[in-house]
Amino acid sequence: MCVNRTFLAFSAAVISRTRVSRAVRYTSSIFSAVILLYTIMGDNCNHSSFTLERILNITCLCKGCFEKFSFEALQESAQYLLDRTSIRPRIGIICGSGLGPITETLTQKQCFPYEEIPHFPTSTVKGHAGQMVFGYLQGVPVMCMQGRFHYYEGYPLWKCSMPVRVMKLVGASHLIVTNAAGGLNDKFSVGDIMLMKDHVNMMGFAGNNPLQGPNDDRFGPRFPPMNRAYDKQLLTICDKVVEEMGIQNIVHKGVYTCLGGPNYETVAEMKLLKVLGVDAVGMSTVHEVITARHCDMKVVAFSLITNMCVADYEDHTEADHEDVVIIAKRMEGLLKEFVSRVVDHIKETLEDVAK
């Protein structure tokens, strides 16, 4: 039977491309691909365009969902950057949707497009420039992700958050994470800032975690705790900055959750999240924070509330990504100053930099 011959060729091809000891790891990938093959082939087993090369391509796609970059591969990414700049960052900053202009405050900037960095994916979302920017902010060497990677772009969570590990290998000990989010708390308004005091890992509830798979102790422990994911000292610094800037009326503390996207949520989903104590909803950050804490980085994160979540069936407002970019642009100056002041205060805790 033609399908049986195809399956045997497919299996042999997979085993020949991987060590036998690893073949078992890809069993689920193989069977997923076989189902896909049945779908593609239908009853026409002799379709001329259906070649072994196409089978191998499908195999690689499935395998890529499970096989993480090794410690050595991420060292290559880090070394590529270190070889091309004399800046040795102490703080990493992830710029969310529309928040890329934060990098305009840097001096002695050097930019590295993601497509030029070994092993890096590329960002496909409007408002994400897609480059790593090195420079100095308030005299502190920093590196900024001007654009991040999302699960809905087709990347597994470990790949979405792998740049955090590169930041760690480059030398960053602190991470500032920003995002654009929908406000679920009735006390929030569009344009407000929510300092993240905690998160609910909804994707983790579904068994999707950036730390899945074999653990490399060189990155961190097998079972990292998350009860102190957001550093209290850094949150205290943020409180000081809020007071200095006189923006207490637009800054809140709250709980964030990340959903898979790319669609915005239903009313029923929002009602559920509200019951769970969630204050803001987005499509990023949580897996980046988990990865950062796994490798012992100190983390602070905040959301710019760019729209209010619809949790009422009588409310016919619809979320729009264009509005997200517009609100981020409107708050650009304030956010630049906020991040700059936070970094300036962190500098006082970095003895080698403070001197």
In DSSP terms, which residues pair with 176 in a beta bridge? 93, 300
Q: Where do we find the tokens 């050097």?
A: 110
Q: Where do we find the tokens 């980085």?
A: 297
> Is residue 83 within 8 Å of residue 60, measured between CB atoms?
no
In DSSP terms, which residues pair with 264 in a beta bridge? none
Cα(first)–Cα(last) distance of the chain, in Å?
Answer: 75
**Catalytic residue set:** 97, 128, 150, 152-153, 180, 283-284, 307, 321
Helix or strand holding residue 278 (H, E): none
Cα radius of gyration (the chain): 22
- Among 267, 70, 305, 273, smallest CA distance to 178 is for 305
- Among 300, 296, 299, smallest CA distance to 220 is for 296
Q: Where do we find the tokens 């959903």?
A: 259
> Is residue 65 within 8 Å of residue 159, measured between CB atoms?
no
The span from the CA of 79 to the CA of 82, in Å, is: 5
The span from the CA of 191 to the CA of 184, in Å, is: 13
